[in-house]
Structure 1
Amino acid sequence: MADAAQLEEVIREELANLWFDLNAARQSALNGEWSMQCGYLERRIKKLTPIVGATPWEEIQLPLLEHGIYQRIHAELGIEVSPDMEKVAKVRKSIGRRGLREKP
């Protein structure tokens, strides 16, 4: 039988996967923003987050941080999160530069 620490780790892994899936669902949404699938994933995130706390922002996909989705979901749960948006912007800029260099 799994102990409490193992269960907590499984929940943390599942949350990280749900955030990844939410980002993918947003990208594939008809309007490019939100879909029923996004809502479903948000509900699952909201059920698990109070059990183990917020997924560290460093593990969250950039668009979810840049559009404030990560922050909004936690605010609705009454959980304070403080992503370093300067670091997020630097990572985005770095990705952009690499993309420009890779183009022929």
Structure 2
Amino acid sequence: MSTTSGTQRCPEWCVALHLDADETLHYSLSREVSVVSRRPARESPDERQHAFAVDQLVLVQHQEAHERVPWLALLLHDGPVLDITVDSARRLATSLLESCGPEPGSC
């Protein structure tokens, strides 16, 4: 959809102000999800031990003006972990829920 001036309207989820006249990138508010991650094992002569950490996974929906579909970037430590379509994210979420089941510890 375009405005009468010919510029594209933002998707409903876009929070970009576009003050620099760059209307090419739309992005959403970011969401943080606390996750427990396992670090690579530390090698020692006596034992292999994994380190665990609580990390903040940041989710941001984004879309270039010329793209037909929105994307979801999953960021960890300010770097990309995964950049997938929103539809792919929905399929991933469904699959994760099905894999783990309703009971804690059932994965």
TM range (shorter): under 0.3
Calculate the TM-score normalised by the size of structure 1: 0.24
Structure whose CA Rg is larger: 2
Q: TM-score, normalised by structure 2?
A: 0.23
**Bigger strand share:** 2
